[in-house]
Structure 1
Amino acid sequence: MPSQMKEQDSIPVSKVQRAAKFISTGAKVGGNYVKHYAKKIVNPSLEKEELHQNNAEDIYKSLSQLKGSALKVAQMMSMDKNILPRAYQDKFTMAQYSAPPLSFPLVVKTFQKYFFKGPEQLFETFTRSAVNAASIGQVHQATLNGKTLAVKIQYPGVADSVSSDLKLVRPFALRLLNMNERELDHYMEEVEERLLEETDYLLEVQRSREISQACSSIPNLSFPNYYDEFSSERIITMDWIYGKHIKEWMETNPTQEEKNKIGQALWDFYHFQVHELMQVHADPHPGNFIVQDNGTLGIIDFGCVKVIPQDFYHGYFSLIKKDLVVKEDELNQIFYDLEFISDRDTEEEKKYFKGVFKEMISLLGKPFHAESFDFANDGYFEQIFQLGDRISNEKMFKKSRQARGSKHGLYINRTYFGLYNLLNQLQANVVTTKPEWLK
């Protein structure tokens, strides 16, 4: 728990301080490579596992002290088992639940900036230590007028350093993701837009209310109330949602019926947002969901929301039509529209990538091709990971010098990958609804 972790009394805020931290971490990573190759001279069969572990430790330690967008990117990458070596994935997963929290004096300073009072003057009780700390901010528990509240405080300097941090993190991302610069830049603008929105807590409160209200009729979901009088650009106060995160809840050995119920609520929540609201809670990591004692699923974070453009929506979701893969002309046009292929490709590249994306669509679309789908089927997920591994190691894929896919797909893909992952953790069998136009 964060309360047991060493607290930070300061956080690098200026561009110079944050750049210095990245440079020192880069030097450590470079030193790790030197040590690895020195050992390899003596032992030619030495694998890279120790190197990955040392680098992951040094990079995560640095990012967790800097906090903000760099740590958020690490969290995003940890959700995809195909992106990172296991050592990085294991370490970066910590960003989903916990990072070293800031000390109480820094929390007080933030409150005084926005409310001219400390938290202990605003609330009847307020925990001096964070009960949860992650990439963008940390959460404290408070009470007032008989209500238990969650108070989320953004780390100092995070909002102002998004753009500069992403520039600094590029060398790490290029090395870890094995991308060229042009390919990475294709998506960086989209990441920057979403991260800037995530640091705007007033926007988060507004979206939280809008989406919560729109989804209020979906069975077995619950949402907190938000309190404007104790919220600002960098602080959000909401109801405390009691319960267990999905991993903890699964350790209580729920029945299959209970797992299916929570899984169905999760599926229905995402289905409604995507197809009715045309915007979606695009941060489906386990820390944002709480299973309550009454059997409902609490949704606690609307910081990352992706608004889905109409033209992208139609092309993207047309791909789940089962018979589309045999309609060559229609599929071809959608592949162009979604930027899977382009006129810059050679005929050989077009043929190869059409085949790759057909294979991916057929596999990833399986849950939509039946009335219900058993996400407890680990074999299905193994197929996905094996396909990803195979494609990423193919010569044609590795030598491609351009990005594949619209930037709008970045967060939608992430959303569905996270949703599938959560449903697999729940071992749930759900009715996989889809809109009428896709039936």
Structure 2
Amino acid sequence: MKEQSNIPTSKVERAGKFVTTGLKVGTNYIKHYTRKLVDPSLSKETLHQDNAADIYETLSSLKGSALKVAQMLSMDKGMLPKAYTEKFAMSQYSAPPLSGPLVVNTFVKTLGKSPAQLYDKFEMRASNAASIGQVHKAWKDGKALAVKIQYPGVANSVKSDLRIVKPFAIRIVGMNEVDMDKYFEEIESKLLEETDYRLELTRSMALSRECAHIPHLLFPQYYPELSSDRIITMDWLDGQHLKEFLQGNPSQEARNKIGQALWDFYQFQVHQLKQVHADPHPGNFLMRPDGTVGIFDFGCVKEIPDDFYYNYFLLTDKEVLKDDKRRYEIYTNLEMIHPTDTPKEVEFFSGLFQHMIDLLTLPFTVDHFDFGNEGYFNEIYAYMDELYNMKEVRESKVARGSRHSLYINRTYFGLYSILSELKANIVTGASGFSPRRETK
């Protein structure tokens, strides 16, 4: 893959890139509608492919929060046209890497020494590159290491990038600006945390230690003395990303073991720690034929407030949701229903949410669940598509759903997606959880 010798870091440079891309997207629309005059049956597939390629080219050159938004959107199947999902998914672990001189410069600036002075051997070519940083392989004292390096200017450009990328997101996703404002505040806070590598190092060490007892999970050791505010050094974990792993035709036993390990990993964090690894895309996991899986990126961690946790997981209790008054209270607490809603709106949105919840919480309500059931996921995607096209939903004047739900929903949707691709059949344990308020 071609290396990148520089990254635009000033607001003017980065904004200029978006303006140029906006002009390209506009030209693509003109081309599409000109062709459609000749052939009225022409679909938007080519338009989506052209726009996805142009937007991704810009985002991958800018890196940082702009590319991270693309990565997040790529995980939300049903939200984006397929062309965008497939193109943006490249940001998970195969964005263009930085060139050697930029890598060395980062080491000298933050650790005061070059890679050659810190490690016995350092591979200057990146092993993989994503939205916030890239990973290099190194060796020290006979041990293989993974060295994550943050791209220049990422931390300083979060706020300005999100202001610029928001109009693209609104146009692509179709979500109104009220929703975008509410959720972009949450996205901004998480992205600022993700650029704080010292915070990530602390969380990585703590969460790895807390989750070490879960069967079939592997965590690296971290090295604070070889880390800085833009560099994290940890053990190198062997394994394959999901796509490569599946190409090796792994056994169903290995798929199930990995699926069970991931399910248990997320359930333990959510219900015991009340904080969760909220970036479950395939680039953050390394899978092995023996059914073990390595987890190494805790840059995005969502802390779950008690009140939100209590109400959110009451949605998995079918008996509670049978009580209309109780259900209305839960929906209101989670900001799915608003005090300003008319009785007609309450009835309409309650019905939509009830069906969506019945679908999405099904794995929680049974002892075992087969995530290889394609019919289940087809039903989810079809319903999401139906919601996306509903006039009442698209024209809603209020954002529906707590800001906390953004990363929790994203976490479970990402987990479901991985389990679906694994076709894992696992123990979900319907009786193993009952939400309770914390007592103080």
Shorter-normalised TM range: over 0.9
Aligned to 1:286: 282
Deviations 1:364-390 (A, max 9, x none): 111011111010101100010011111
Q: Distance in 1 between matches of 2:421 and 2:82?
A: 18
Contact 1:78–1:88 (CA<8 Å) still a contact in 2?
A: yes
Q: 1:303 aligns with which of 288, 299, 315?
A: 299
- Summarize the alignment of residues 26-41 of structure 1 with structure 2, pairs less than 5 Å apart: 26-41=22-37
TM-score normalised according to structure 1 size: 0.97
Aligned to 2:424: 428
Q: Does 1:171 align with 2:176?
A: no
- CA distance change for structure 1 residues 276 and 261 in 2, over 3 Å: closer, same or farther? same
Q: 1:364 aligns with which of 355, 360, 368?
A: 360
Partner secondary structure for residue 5 of structure 2:
coil
Q: Distance in 2 between matches of 1:292 and 1:252?
A: 10
Q: Distance in 2 between matches of 1:50 and 1:355?
A: 36
Report the CA distance between 1:42 and its aligned residue. Answer: 2.3
Contact 1:282–1:304 (CA<8 Å) still a contact in 2?
A: yes
Q: Does 1:68 align with 2:64?
A: yes
Aligned to 1:243: 239
What stretches of structure 1 of length at least 5 have no aligned partner?
none
Aligned to 1:201: 197
Contact 2:176–2:394 (CA<8 Å) still a contact in 1?
A: no
Percent pairwise identity: 59
Report the CA distance between 1:251 and its aligned residue. Answer: 2.2
Report the CA distance between 1:83 and its aligned residue. Answer: 1.0
Report the CA distance between 1:292 and its aligned residue. Answer: 3.4
Report the CA distance between 1:64 and its aligned residue. Answer: 0.2
Contact 2:279–2:411 (CA<8 Å) still a contact in 1?
A: yes
Report the CA distance between 1:293 and its aligned residue. Answer: 5.5
Contact 1:336–1:342 (CA<8 Å) still a contact in 2?
A: yes
Q: Does 1:80 align with 2:83?
A: no
Matched residue type, 1:108: V
Report the CA distance between 1:438 and its aligned residue. Answer: 5.1
Report the CA distance between 1:212 and its aligned residue. Answer: 0.7
- Summarize the alignment of residues 84-233 of structure 1 with structure 2, pairs less than 5 Å apart: 84-233=80-229
Q: Distance in 1 between matches of 2:252 and 2:176?
A: 45
Q: 2:258 aligns with which of 253, 256, 262?
A: 262
What stretches of structure 2 of length at least 5 have no aligned partner?
none
Q: Distance in 2 between matches of 1:105 and 1:212?
A: 33
Q: 1:437 aligns with which of 418, 426, 434?
A: 434
Matched residue type, 1:103: S
Contact 2:122–2:136 (CA<8 Å) still a contact in 1?
A: yes
TM-score normalised according to structure 2 size: 0.97
Report the CA distance between 1:343 and its aligned residue. Answer: 1.5
Partner secondary structure for residue 408 of structure 1:
helix
State the number of aligned residues.
435
Report the CA distance between 1:399 and its aligned residue. Answer: 2.1
Matched residue type, 2:72: M
- CA distance change for structure 1 residues 109 and 357 in 2, over 3 Å: closer, same or farther? same
Matched residue type, 1:209: M
Contact 1:341–1:354 (CA<8 Å) still a contact in 2?
A: yes
Contact 1:264–1:431 (CA<8 Å) still a contact in 2?
A: yes
Contact 2:79–2:385 (CA<8 Å) still a contact in 1?
A: no
Q: 1:326 aligns with which of 322, 327, 335?
A: 322
Alpha-carbon RMSD: 1.2
Deviations 1:401-439 (A, max 9, x none): 211100000000000001111111111111113644259
Q: Distance in 1 between matches of 2:33 and 2:293?
A: 49
- Judge which range, 178-187 or 55-64, deviates more: 178-187
- Summarize the alignment of residues 385-424 of structure 1 with structure 2, pairs less than 5 Å apart: 385-424=381-420
Report the CA distance between 1:395 and its aligned residue. Answer: 2.4
Partner secondary structure for residue 131 of structure 2:
coil
- Judge which range, 412-421 or 249-258, deviates more: 249-258
Q: Distance in 2 between matches of 1:378 and 1:108?
A: 47
Contact 1:374–1:427 (CA<8 Å) still a contact in 2?
A: yes
Matched residue type, 1:234: R
Report the CA distance between 1:243 and its aligned residue. Answer: 1.2
- CA distance change for structure 1 residues 295 and 44 in 2, over 3 Å: closer, same or farther? closer
Report the CA distance between 1:294 and its aligned residue. Answer: 4.9
